[in-house]
Structure 1
Amino acid sequence: MIIGGFAAQAQAQSNVTIYGLVDVGMVSERGGAAGSVTKVTSGIGGQSRLGFRGTEDLGNGLSAIFQLEAGIKVDDGTLDNTNSALFNRAAMVGLKSKDAGTLTIGRQQTMLYNALSQVADPFGAGYAGSAKNLFPTSGNLTRVSNSLVYTTPTFSGFTIDGQYALGEQAGSSEAARQFGLGMAYSQGPLNVRVVYNNRNNDTVANGIVTERDTGKNTLVAMNYDFQVVKAYVAYGTNKGLNSAPLPVANAFAYRVAPTASLDSDNILVGAQIPVGAGTIMTSYTRKNDKTNFNQDADQFAVGYLYALSKRTGAYASYAKIKNKNGAGYTVGNNNEPGTGDKAFNVGVRHSF
């Protein structure tokens, strides 16, 4: 009876949710060394996933929280990851207080990626028009392991975030460590994020530390909902090693492969336009390489998402990139970097 009573009490105070996204469609890519590529792809608008999240009320305004999230491929049913991790998208646990804020520990998204996908990009970092095609998001710029994230409570629409990820390299406390700072404002139709990310690129081999340049990224993102149109604008700067890694090494098989910029900036202007039960998405994105290579790129994109229900939508999207001076940027989507300088995709997505 005691066990049963305890279980009933725990169930009343705890909440665990199973959730996910199933996104799959057809992708047609052109212009790269691979030629014309047509395929069925999972995660075009957003990576297909299966997740678990939960909370437990600890009393006095304090809760325990957790999240475990795995990427999946709808086209063939396999796990969608590159590092053999089951919960490659998220694995964290923490405490949340109404008065003191939230502290979480584990594998988590960076504030840099959250600002880009949640505030800056009308495509939500997905579809052919994804801002990820030109804004830097590769590797640890999207999510990072061994990290601690603290978020303040909301004060008059403002919140402040801080993230620190341990490099965990034997022989150095600095090698591979990463930290980020962010400030957000959300009030009515206005959303603003300002974030900074700093990545140490030092390596350790046989106890010897090789010092390398630090990668630094800053992003200012804003959107404003005018009801008849939601306007988006973003500006980012990227300095140092791995501040703007190339999504594909040499997709166009140039005799001289493109060079990842060590000094660049990005701009984006875009909009979401509601039309009946659907939304038109459009954006212009520019990559400005400030090095002597001057490998700039411009992307033009348009898409349409039609809401079949609150959870199900059908979509179509097209984007084209104009590379300059040997730049090698490709039109991908949320889950793939792409193979050419233009792409069209059409598909369906369902969230649960």
Structure 2
Amino acid sequence: MKKSLLAFTLVGTFAYSAVAQTNVTIYGVADAGIAINDSDAPTDARTYRLESGQQSGSRLGFRGTEDLGGGLSAIFTLENGFSIDNGQLGQGGRLFGRQAWVGLNGNFGAVKFGRQYNPIRPALESIDPFALGLAGNMTNVFLAYGERADNTINYSTPKFGGFSGQVAYSLGEIAGSTSAGRQAGLLLGYNSGPINVVLAYHDQNLATATGANSGSADTIMLGGTYDFSVAKLHAAYAVNKGETAAGATNVDSTDMMLGLTAKLGAGNVIASYMRKNNDLAGNGDSNLWAIGYTYDISKRTNLYTSYGRVKNDPTGLVGFGGPLTAAGAGRDPSTFNVGVRHRF
């Protein structure tokens, strides 16, 4: 009993010492609401759901820094994703599936190692009027390549007069190949006053279980916003290319978005129109309209609602889950949601 008590005391002392030397912030999001989804199937396919993370993914995170002297700091982030409607882990059951990285920060910028966002993801979020949530989520049409990548090395520059950038490389970790499974991304941005402009690029090589290349895909996207104080305009354009291992083109499309954010009372009206133009024979074009409203109850808590509808050509496949996620070719799915989000 005395040995157990002593061990517990020592562990507690070490834990307190670690926290005392490192500044750790605990943060998170709790988001839940009602969603009504209609897949436009021949039979009644309307579903009523209590869904987690409609505006922002529910999460619990730990962010820390330690001053190493000389302007150098150690940094880390561990971020868990979960479903508040059933308590299950998100991102396929990973403990820290949203983010898990450690690195160094200094006058040179920051270098981070671990599971991180692909650079194209924060680029999309910074210009999306729906901030990658609700019915107008840009990833319903634009490619974000899974948003995150394992085994990633990311370098972010310091800001220079409104300019910033980052470059990322994700190792495929396939024996005998340095290219199979690897991903690479780039983000260049300018944010000053009312202007925000981003240019992002992502390239990936897919890999089979045996390590052979099974194809490649890349996207380049240019977007921006202009803030008029009472309203903000949003716009983006992307070009997507991809091919199978045999060299046959299977992705050849362009995406565009026009959006608006306008203040209304204690909240904002948000709206967007997106279009996917498919240049491959047999792949139809798609259009998505969305409108929503967020109402701030406090600095940390808000209510939200949104509605979106997709209009697919007879062979179009855009749905509310990303490109190629419609329940069937040519169907026109719609979604409505209402809920509450609390950030802490």
TM category (shorter chain) comes to 0.7 to 0.9
Is residue 88 of structure 1 aligned with residue 100 of structure 2? no
What is the alpha-carbon distance in structure 2 between the residues aligned to residue 292 and residue 338 of structure 1? 18
Q: What's the % identity of the aligned pairs? A: 42
The offset of 1:332, in angstroms, is 4.6
- Secondary structure of the 2:144 match is coil
- Whether contact under 8 Å (1:167, 1:175) holds in the other structure is yes
Inter-CA distance 109–69: structure 2 relative to 1 (3 Å threshold): same
- Secondary structure of the 1:227 match is coil
Is residue 350 of structure 1 aligned with residue 342 of structure 2? yes
Inter-CA distance 332–203: structure 2 relative to 1 (3 Å threshold): closer
What is the alpha-carbon distance in structure 2 between the residues aligned to residue 273 and residue 199 of structure 1? 37
- Whether contact under 8 Å (1:234, 1:268) holds in the other structure is yes
Gaps of 5+ in 2: 1-12
Tell me how many residue pairs correspond in the alignment: 321
The residue aligned with 1:130 is 137
Inter-CA distance 42–10: structure 2 relative to 1 (3 Å threshold): closer
The residue aligned with 1:151 is 156
RMSD: 2.3
What is the alpha-carbon distance in structure 2 between the residues aligned to residue 261 and residue 123 of structure 1? 29
- Whether contact under 8 Å (1:293, 1:325) holds in the other structure is no
The offset of 1:267, in angstroms, is 0.3
What is the alpha-carbon distance in structure 2 between the residues aligned to residue 7 and residue 203 of structure 1? 42
Higher relative contact order (CA 8 A, sep 6+): 1
- Secondary structure of the 1:122 match is coil
- Whether contact under 8 Å (1:279, 1:304) holds in the other structure is yes
The offset of 1:191, in angstroms, is 1.0
| 1:1-42 alpha-carbon deviations (Å, 9 max, x no partner) | xxxx99999766531011100000000011343711111000
What is the alpha-carbon distance in structure 2 between the residues aligned to residue 8 and residue 109 of structure 1? 31
The residue aligned with 1:323 is 312
| 1:236-282 alpha-carbon deviations (Å, 9 max, x no partner) | 1110148xxxxxxxxxxxxxxxxx95100100000110111010000
- TM-score, length-scaled by structure 2: 0.88
- TM-score, length-scaled by structure 1: 0.86
Inter-CA distance 138–28: structure 2 relative to 1 (3 Å threshold): farther
Inter-CA distance 230–291: structure 2 relative to 1 (3 Å threshold): same
What is the alpha-carbon distance in structure 2 between the residues aligned to residue 296 and residue 47 of structure 1? 29
What is the alpha-carbon distance in structure 2 between the residues aligned to residue 66 and residue 179 of structure 1? 21
Aligned positions of 1:1-352 closer than 5 A: 14-33=22-41, 35-82=45-92, 84-97=93-106, 99-117=107-125, 119-139=126-146, 142-203=147-208, 205=210, 210-241=212-243, 262-332=251-321, 341-352=333-344
- Whether contact under 8 Å (2:317, 2:326) holds in the other structure is no
- Secondary structure of the 2:177 match is coil
Inter-CA distance 14–129: structure 2 relative to 1 (3 Å threshold): same
Inter-CA distance 67–293: structure 2 relative to 1 (3 Å threshold): same
The residue aligned with 1:252 is none
What is the alpha-carbon distance in structure 1 between the residues aligned to residue 285 and residue 269 of structure 2? 27
Inter-CA distance 213–10: structure 2 relative to 1 (3 Å threshold): closer
- Whether contact under 8 Å (2:186, 2:202) holds in the other structure is yes
- What letter matches 2:280 in structure 1? T
Comparing 9-18 with 341-350, greater Cα deviation is found at 9-18
- Secondary structure of the 1:349 match is strand
Inter-CA distance 186–120: structure 2 relative to 1 (3 Å threshold): same
The offset of 1:327, in angstroms, is 1.2
| 1:56-76 alpha-carbon deviations (Å, 9 max, x no partner) | 011111110000011111111
- Whether contact under 8 Å (2:194, 2:227) holds in the other structure is yes
- What letter matches 1:288 in structure 2? N
Comparing 87-96 with 129-138, greater Cα deviation is found at 129-138
- Secondary structure of the 1:313 match is strand
Inter-CA distance 10–60: structure 2 relative to 1 (3 Å threshold): farther
